[in-house]
Amino acid sequence: MIYQEGRKLIRIWKGERLQIEAFHKNSLRVRATRLSGIQDEDWALLPPEEEMQPEITIFYKENGTEEEAEEKRKVNSAVINRGDSAKMANGKISVDVTKEGKLVFRNQKGDILLAEYEADRSTSLGIRSRELKMLAGGNFRASMKFASDPQEKLYGMGQYQNGIFNLKGSFLELAQRNSQASVPFVYSSLGYGFFWNNPGIGRVSFGKNMTEWEAQNTKQIDFWITAGDSPAEILQQYMAVTGKPPMMPEYGLGFWQCKLRYQTQEELLEVAREYHRRGIPLDVIVADFFHWTLEGTWDFDPKYWPDPEAMVRELDSMGTRLMVSVWPTVAVNAPDYKYMEENGFLVQTENGVKITMLMIDPTSFVDMTNPDARRFVWNRLKKNYYDRGIRLFWLDVAEPEYSSYDFENYRYLQGPVTEVGNMYPLWYTKMVYDGMKEAGEEEVVSLVRCAWAGSQRYGALVWSGDIPSTFESLKIQIVCGLQMAMAGIPWWTTDIGGFIGGDIRDPKFQELLIRWFEYGTFCPVMRLHGNRKPYREPIGCNGGGRCASGAENEIWSYGEENCGIMKKYIGIRERMRPLTRKLMEEASSTGAPVMRPLFYHFPEDERVWEISDEFLFGENLLVAPVTEYLQRERDVYLPAGAGWQEQETGRIYEGGQTVRADAPLDVIPVFERIG
């Protein structure tokens, strides 16, 4: 039986309830369950900004032919039409629901965008395209299979350290890990965007013959699909239903200094003073982890950080903001551990002891899905940081980074991790966003190590995690940044130079750092960080003194010649400030990413769909990073349909060709679109 219910299309068949509704312009939301009713949880989706007026047509079989159950009409009536099959249209997208319940999505021209997989009926394979297999406890293991166009190209999905640009033919785990951020929105070159609105652990396979989405533990299948005439239109429609970022504060547009880790207040201040003495603009400096005494105190260790208010005042006088690291962990010997455990503020384990991470002390993670736990932690942050003048928080370990990623062993207030776990970084970021807004802050940005769909609306500046300090890793980060952009995360950055390894005395690493620094100049946020060699020993036996540190990581730590190159690019970033501000305003108003794949503005040029080592900063700057050791020139493809001027030489080229650009150590090839 298929019928309309208000503005929804409903099909009930053999225990399954399928519901399709218009959900924003040119978009549809599809849900299916074998429970008594559709679940109302929207997860990442926001209510549509306006009521949609879809067209629904119900068909029934009579005399061997399909006839309309009633005349096609706008869905603004309470009358229920019943039939065997149906069609629903909302702007540029429509869906056919066959008598067998299969879904076929089309654009406004009638071209098929995506069709539910249908096995050849002449075979005995018994493959079902839409499955809800019962689990113990009443939930389901769910899967959706779609027939796949072998020529389709796919982008987005968040951040995976695999270096794959066109995701066609790849397999992705839908789970959060250190340096992996699962944001399950994919853009298709066929002209649609697809969002798997399920925060549970799962997987997706973008096969040549089939695309298959799976959720390990869920109450229903839930996805959203949109159609449009350009990548920009489709991405903006997705951002309208998952949220756009706030405006990036002015201090987010310049250079950020960080290292693992400043061990004392005086060490951090002396670094800021040296930047000031050298006349190098420094917007933000970071106090990394274990400036505290114990995890779960969320406060400065008074032995090594004796006067935070004075530190903030001095930094402010130099035009520099302080960011502090926050971890969602509580040591078992922290003063509030017992209270938090008794009140259900900590992540539960199904088996074994409740220790979910080992750092210096055994710790448990805060359950950020629990609103009372979020309020408790924010009150600590407000008292110990915000009320001392600190407005920037670095939300580290945000996946969360379990010492063992046994997802089936952990449970949150909102449900088991297998069902809701991928939303943890969103709730974590929301904690600070809500607290800052309540305190009167308008522009909120939090540096966070992971994200899910919708994190951007809470001011999430995502960075690519604890990645290796290698040229290969640099190449991969370019792809990561572009995939995050196409997954709706406009604010993104990396540790310039990578995080793991990197000896400051090694000439090869110094060259890597320079090339990464040049690339970082054109990332949404420019931030230097890393765990450098040679390592420093702990400076004490108690509190924050127990934690070791890496070597110096300031731009003068690598010799004056390298320092001069990095100072040059900080100056370039400063001169770009009006442009960066404009792009951040655009991201806040429309959701457009700051860094963009070439096809975002040149979709008609077939060659750009495979180019992953160049990108656009906004609409008019083409950036071509250098990613090989001792490389001093590189080929750059200039998209067709525009003229391009090389910034270093002033040479002008027509688009649609590959040119050889000089790239001495102090030059990253950049081309400006003419006109």
Q: Domain with 202 in it: what CATH number?
A: 2.60.40.1760
Provide the annotated active-site residues.
396, 399, 466
Q: Is residue 359 part of a domain?
A: no
Q: Is residue 340 part of a domain?
A: no
Q: Helix 507-520 crosses helix 471-486 at what angle (to 10 degrees)?
A: 20
In the prediction, which pLDDT does 227 show? 98
Q: Is residue 336 part of a domain?
A: no
The CATH number of whichever domain residue 638 belongs to comes to 2.60.40.1180
The four Cα atoms 167, 169, 175, 176 give a dihedral, to 10 degrees, of -40
Exposure pattern of 435-448 as b/e (b: 16+ CB <10 Å)? bbeeeebebbbbbb
The CATH number of whichever domain residue 296 belongs to comes to 3.20.20.80
Q: How far is CA 467 from CA 131, 256, 495, 524, 674, in A?
A: 37, 18, 8, 18, 36
What is the distance between the alpha carbons of residues 580 and 620, in angstroms, rounded to a whole number?
12
Q: What is the pLDDT of residues 497-524, one digit of tens each?
A: 999 999 999 999 999 999 999 999 999 9
Q: Is residue 52 part of a domain?
A: yes
Q: Are residues 469 and 530 in the same domain?
A: yes
In the prediction, which pLDDT does 76 show? 44
Q: Are residues 620 and 547 in the same domain?
A: no
Q: Is residue 239 part of a domain?
A: no
Q: Which domain holds residue 611?
A: 597-673
Q: Are residues 641 and 533 in the same domain?
A: no
Q: Are residues 445 and 301 in the same domain?
A: yes
pTM of the model: 0.96
Domain-ending residue, one of 560, 590, 620:
590
- Tokens representing 285 are 């400096």
What is the distance between the alpha carbons of residues 161 and 440, in angstroms, rounded to a whole number?
38
Give one DSSP letter per residue of 604-643, joined into a string.
T-GGGGG--S-EEETTTEEE----STT--EEEEEE-TTSE
Q: What is the pLDDT of residues 45-87, one digit of tens each?
A: 999 888 889 999 999 865 445 556 544 444 444 445 578 899 9
* Residues 103, 30 contacting (CB under 8 angstroms): yes
Q: What distance, in Å, lies between the first and last C-alpha atoms of the chain?
A: 57
Domain-ending residue, one of 227, 262, 294:
227
Q: Is residue 7 part of a domain?
A: yes
Q: Are residues 465 and 572 in the same domain?
A: yes
Q: Are residues 441 and 581 in the same domain?
A: yes
Q: Are residues 257 and 218 in the same domain?
A: no
Q: Are residues 556 and 602 in the same domain?
A: no
Q: Is residue 620 part of a domain?
A: yes
Q: Are residues 404 and 289 in the same domain?
A: yes
Q: Are residues 27 and 45 in the same domain?
A: yes
Q: Are residues 129 and 200 in the same domain?
A: yes
Residues of the chain under the 50 pLDDT cut: 63-64, 70-79
Number of domains the chain is built from: 3
In the prediction, which pLDDT does 455 show? 98
Q: Are residues 283 and 186 in the same domain?
A: no
* Residues 421, 412 contacting (CB under 8 angstroms): yes
Domain-ending residue, one of 546, 563, 590:
590
Q: Is residue 335 part of a domain?
A: no
In the prediction, which pLDDT does 69 show? 52
